[in-house]
Amino acid sequence: MTTTFMQSPKYLFTSESVTEGHPDKMCDQISDAILDAMIKEDKASRVACETAIKTGFVLTYGEVTTKTYVDIDALVREVVNGIGYDRGKKGFDGSTCGVLVALANQSADISRGVDQNGVKEAVEYNEAFIESGGAGDQGMMFGFACNETESLMPMPIYYAHKLTRRMAEVRKNGTIPWMYPDGKSQVTVEYHYGKPVRIHTIVVSSQHADQLDHEEVSHDRIEADIREHVIKAVIPAELLDEDTKVYVNPTGRFVIGGPMGDAGMTGRKIIVDTYGGMGRHGGGAFSGKDPTKVDRSAAYAARWVAKNVVAAGLAERCEVQVSYAIGVAQPLSINVETFGTGAVEDEKIAQAIAKVFDLRPRAIIHDLDLLRPIYRQLAAYGHFGRDDLDLTWERTDRADALKEAVRLLTR
């Protein structure tokens, strides 16, 4: 996205979301449930857990180092059943599926870069401890925020997530009894000169029962229920008009879904997890990784920074990039792009960020309180802009400090 894009008289932008029963998201939730279980009992756990899933089986694999014991077989079944795949008629049953585990110890070559002083947990978060904790890998991470919604998220992904969260709600509370766990949404927003003005198109697809009470579940019923109980319930009426296009289960049938319909794997929905394609992505997935992995922790920090920039009134939209080298604590670079909406030069904002935020990995973990079992709840419906959760990186607690830092730099 460029400044020229922002200045276009009219353009469309589309983002998608998927439900917790999507096979890739099932894998993300399993991986993060394993992470949660390990850091709950041992905060020094190092976790890089992947999951793959297909009809009848789940495979968890990767590298972990922990002092605690986790019954992974039982945990996998709990997650799958909790998602709603608890009967064979849905195409997958968490109680009877096979569970394979292939977890090995983390490489010592990686751990020595993260724990240069041989200490995994802080007795005291002092300068020496923070500086001796290097990044778990090289890479670049992006954070993004804009003033299109109250949560400072782009409107397309914000409402796409609202739709899929609502789908889970009406399925679980029985409002729509024919609905099964797998599903998707897609929202296209029309912009005029960088400002959202209306929703152009909505697409909702939901896995469904073939029959309910011995009667076929018709497409007319599916469309009517989705329009009434999902779309109407979450999309503001002022964003819809007579020209808004709505597509519900466009193929006409979606009975075979979940792992039976498509194989799943951890980390394949990185755009769904972040900003829906609005802004750039460093390429690293989040789920199954403990916060020493900057793919996760620095991406959260970058969102925290970008959101505070917008909340401070320094820009209407802001993208922040940070980069790291394995074993090095200090970020290699901090870049800011405000797409022509900044109140001051982007360079000045970047300088203010460096003064207000400590973006070394151990400082991020401490400031955002990341060594907690909070990750499974993030593995579906996005890691950012979650108005249903109290997430530390969604707070705008440093907006005033940023404004003051910019004032001092520009006086």
Please identify every residue annotated as catalytic: 22, 24-25, 50, 63, 184, 254, 262-263, 268-269, 289, 293, 295
Cα-based angle 353, 356, 358 (whole degrees, multiple of 5): 90
Query: How many Cα atoms sit within 13 Å of 34 on the Cβ side?
Result: 32
Alpha helices for 122-194 (secondary structure H): 127-131, 155-172
What are the backbone angles phi and psi of residue 122, rounded to the nearest 5°?
-85, 130
CB crowding 89-112: b at 16 or more within 10 Å, else e: ebbbbbeebebeeebeebeeebbe
Residue 411: other Cβ atoms inside 10 A = 5
Contact yes or no for 35/46 (Cβ under 8 A): no
In three-state secondary structure terms, 358 is: coil
Q: Which of 330, 276, 342 is closest to 298 using CA atoms?
A: 330
Alpha helices for 217-337 (secondary structure H): 219-226, 232-234, 258-261, 270-273, 294-311
Contact yes or no for 99/57 (Cβ under 8 A): yes
- Please provide the DSSP assignment of 194-223 as one string: TEEEEEEEEEEEEEE-SEETTEE--HHHHH
